[in-house]
């Protein structure tokens, strides 16, 4: 469950007019009549998943763990960030001694990274999951060219049994490669866009392979699906989040800074930035999604947030209970002058830091929201990610924007293709 607070009152945002608009959006969304509604496959996905699909994912995950020390997950954008966000949130900070290592490739084009990654694979048993809905995105395609070559040289014919492809059911160069080579395949549903695909095989295969409970993740998402399909907006936190940020946008607050106090959530921030940035940033409209990690960034970006241009609002993503914690102990010699903190846990310190930061930034003219989740586990993450996806759809519809396309990203691609003399450009 996500709890929300707003520096003003939520009631003041949910005016009669706003409620009428939100009701219309609710109807359009659930009857699939709004803009881009052929991309609403994610909306009831968690509650309608069939058990055969789950069994296939679990079986593949077990095979990966049996056959590999390292899984290389190739993808970019929505074909990368969902799994990365969940794994970063659940993984321990420091490398596990045993168990599958999941590494990512194709999310940038660094020769140095790829070369070092290939070197890192030597001596370890490797499997590859290449993910691309379109099957033709350049960055993952380049990475896969190198990884495919590496796997074939190293494993010969067996390479085909160590490569798993997640792509569209009907089209794309990756599908052709998969068919030609007999790779195991998972489908990215045609009606689910990349940034809404974390609960499909795109996210589930790497997350399950890493040993996390995709059942719990999906149970969290299904819980959110049920809880937020609610026309009573006084109870519906996902709609409230969309309504508040829209209100702030109308008032001129055009940048949302998502602030965390738990660094494990930094890739949830990256996932959220793609979700909201690609969904809303169109037709000269949209809130710019930015992120900071506190208290680290209080010693850098904190200055700007406190005192810079007043077009930003801040959304804290807070975790009530830490999975592990330490308590400051009393030192015999109070040389560091910290004995006044004795008995305080570091999580409690962060809660206090949040309060202090929040009131300082409020004084500095930064409106504030906070979203609190009880703890970080598969269930809560599933719930949170679905919460954001639904909220994002409401938010984009409030701007009268199609949340599910991304026409703007083609421009840079076309320019690069022209510069590289790609045939047809
Ligand atoms: O899964 P694909 O087709 O490789 O796309 C990856 C990402 O690239 C984008 O299309 C942007 O270029 C995103 O919307 C998408 O998540």
- Can you tell me which residue has the tokens 């202090």? 356
* pLDDT score for 309: 96
User: Nearest to residue 133, comparing CAs of 94, 186, 87, 70?
Assistant: 186
Query: 421 lies in a domain?
Result: no
For ligand 1, whether the C-beta of 133 sits within 6 Å is yes
Q: Is the pLDDT reported for residue 98 higher than 80?
A: no
Domain membership of residue 379 as a residue range: 3-34+219-398
Instruction: Enumerate residues 6+ apart whose C-beta is below 8 A from 352.
Output: 344
195 alpha carbon to ligand 1 midpoint, in Å?
8
- Does residue 424 belong to any structural domain of this protein? no
Residues 355, 37: Cα–Cα separation, whole Å? 40
Residue 324 structure tokens? 């592990």
Instruction: Give residue 95's pLDDT.
Output: 79
188 within domain boundaries: yes
How many structural domains are present in the chain? 2
Check residue 189 and report its DSSP letter: P
Last residue of a domain, one of 212, 240, 257: 212
Report pLDDT for 24.
97
DSSP character at residue 32: T
> For the residues 54-74, what does the mean pLDDT come to?
97
* First and final C-alpha spacing in the chain: 48
pLDDT at residue 142 above 80?
Answer: yes
Q: Is the CB of 167 under 6 A from ligand 1?
A: no
| 254 and 279 housed in the same domain | yes
From 74, 129, 137, 411, give the residue whose CB has the most ligand 1 atoms within 8 Å, as the site to mutate: 137
The two tokens of residue 414 are: 């076309």
186 and 324 both lie in a single domain: no
Q: Which residues contact 379 (CB under 8 A, 6 or more apart)?
A: 216, 217, 219, 220, 223
CB 245 within 8 A of CB 276: no
Rounded to the nearest angstrom, the distance between the alpha carbon of 76 and the centre of ligand 1 is 6
Residue 30 shares a structural domain with residue 73 = no
pLDDT of residue 362: 95
The answer on pLDDT for 284 being more than 90 is yes
Could you tell me if 205 and 225 lie in one domain? no
**Does ligand 1 lie within 6 Å of residue 148's CB atom?**
no
Segment 103-113 mean pLDDT: 98
Instruction: Band the pLDDT of 216: cuts 50, 70, 90.
Output: very high
Round to whole Å and give the CA distance between 350 and 162. Answer: 44
Percent of the chain with pLDDT over 70: 100
Check residue 412 and give its pLDDT.
Answer: 87
- Predicted pLDDT at 1: 83
Determine the average pLDDT of the residues in 279-293.
97
The 3-state secondary structure of 284-331, one letter per residue: CCCCEEEEEECCHHHHCCHHHHHHCCCCEEEEEEEECCCCCCCECCCC
Based on the fold, state whether residues 92 and 227 are members of the same structural domain.
no
Structure token digits, residue 315: 């959304």
Cα of 320 vs centre of ligand 1, distance in Å, is 34
Q: Which structure tokens are listed for 263?
A: 């660094």
Does ligand 1 come within 6 angstroms of the Cβ of 132?
yes
Assess whether the C-beta atom of 286 lies below 6 angstroms from ligand 1.
no
**How far, in Å, is the centroid of ligand 1 from the Cα of 207?**
19
DSSP-derived secondary structure for 350-408: HHHHHHHHHHHHHHTT--EEEEEES--SHHHHHHHHHHHHHHHHHHHHHTT--TT--TT
176-207 residue pLDDT tens: 999 999 999 999 999 999 999 999 999 999 99
Check pocket membership of 79 for ligand 1, CB cut-off 6 A: yes
Q: Is 134 in the pocket of ligand 1 (CB under 6 A)?
A: yes
The answer to whether the peptide bond before residue 295 is cis (omega within 30 degrees of 0) is yes
CA of 78 to the centre of ligand 1 (A): 6
Q: Is 76 in the pocket of ligand 1 (CB under 6 A)?
A: yes
- CA–centroid distance, 135 to ligand 1, in Å, is 9
Please give the positions annotated as active site. 278, 413
Q: Measuring CA to CA, which residue among 106, 95, 98 is closest to residue 146?
A: 106
Q: Whose CA is nearest to atom 7 of ligand 1?
A: 77
Q: Which atom of ligand 1 is nearest to the CA of 134?
A: 3
- What residues contact residue 158 under an 8 Å CB cut-off, 6+ apart? none
Instruction: Please give the DSSP secondary-structure letter assigned to residue 340.
Output: G
| Confidence at residue 414, expressed as pLDDT on a 0 to 100 scale | 87
Both structure tokens of 288: 């710019």
pLDDT over 90 (residue 58)? yes
pLDDT at position 411, please? 87
Q: Could you tell which of 42, 85, 134 is best to mutate to test the pocket of ligand 1, judged by most ligand atoms within 8 Å of the CB?
A: 134
Q: Which atom of ligand 1 is nearest to the CA of 413?
A: 12
Q: Whose CA is nearest to atom 16 of ligand 1?
A: 78
Q: Is the model's pLDDT at 83 over the cut of 80?
A: yes
Q: Let me know if residue 406 belongs to a domain.
A: no
* pLDDT (0 to 100) of residue 106: 98
Same domain (yes/no): 247, 367: yes
Domain end (from 180, 212, 244): 212
- Are residues 267 and 378 located together in one domain of the fold? yes
- Name the average pLDDT for the chain: 96
What is the C-alpha R_g of the chain? 23
Round to whole Å and give the CA distance between 89 and 94. Answer: 12
Asked if residue 166 has its Cβ within 6 Å of ligand 1, the reply is no
Looking up residue 355, the CATH number of its domain turns out to be: 3.40.50.10490
Residue 151 predicted with pLDDT over 80 = yes
pLDDT at 413 over 90: no
Same domain, yes or no: 161 and 19: no
């Amino acid at each position: 469950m996500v709890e929300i607070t707003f520096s003003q009152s939520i009631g003041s945002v949910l005016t009669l007019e706003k409620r009428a608009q939100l009701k219309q959006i609710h109807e359009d969304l659930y009857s699939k009549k709004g803009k881009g509604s052929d991309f609403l496959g994610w909306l009831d996905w968690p509650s309608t998943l069939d058990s055969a699909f789950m069994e296939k994912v679990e079986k593949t995950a077990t095979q990966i763990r049996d056959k590999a020390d390292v899984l290389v997950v190739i993808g970019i954008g929505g074909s990368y960030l969902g799994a990365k966000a969940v794994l970063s949130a659940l993984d321990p900070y420091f490398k596990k001694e045993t168990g599958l290592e999941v590494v990512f490739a194709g999310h940038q084009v660094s020769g140095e990274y790829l070369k070092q990654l290939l070197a890192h694979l030597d001596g370890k048993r490797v499997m590859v999951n290449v993910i691309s809905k379109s099957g033709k995105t350049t960055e993952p395609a380049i990475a896969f060219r190198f990884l495919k070559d590496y796997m074939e040289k190293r494993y010969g014919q067996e390479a085909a049994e160590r490569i798993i492809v997640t792509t569209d059911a009907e089209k794309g160069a990756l599908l052709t490669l998969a068919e030609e080579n007999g790779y195991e395949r998972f489908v990215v549903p045609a009606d689910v866009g990349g940034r809404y695909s974390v609960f499909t095989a795109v996210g589930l295969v790497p997350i399950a392979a890493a040993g996390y409970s995709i059942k719990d993740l999906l149970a969290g998402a299904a819980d959110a699906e049920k809880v937020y399909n609610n026309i009573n907006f006084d109870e519906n936190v996902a709609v409230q989040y969309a309504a508040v940020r829209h209100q702030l946008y109308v008032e001129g607050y055009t940048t949302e800074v998502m602030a965390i106090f738990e660094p494990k959530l930094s890739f949830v921030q990256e996932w959220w930035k793609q979700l909201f940035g690609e969904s809303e940033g169109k037709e000269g409209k949209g809130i710019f999604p930015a992120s900071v990690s506190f208290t680290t960034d209080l010693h850098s970006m904190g200055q700007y947030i406190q005192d810079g241009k007043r077009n930003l609002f801040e959304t804290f993503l807070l975790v009530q209970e830490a999975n592990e914690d330490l308590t400051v102990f009393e030192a015999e010699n109070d040389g560091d002058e910290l004995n006044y903190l004795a008995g305080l846990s570091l999580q409690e310190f962060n809660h206090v830091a949040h309060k202090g930061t929040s009131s300082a930034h409020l004084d500095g003219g930064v409106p504030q929201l906070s979203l609190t989740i009880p703890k970080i586990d598969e269930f809560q993450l599933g719930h949170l990610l679905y919460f954001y996806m639904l909220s994002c759809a409401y938010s984009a519809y409030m701007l009268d924007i199609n949340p599910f396309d991304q026409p703007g990203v083609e421009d840079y691609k076309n320019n690069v293709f022209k510069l590289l003399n790609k045939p047809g450009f």
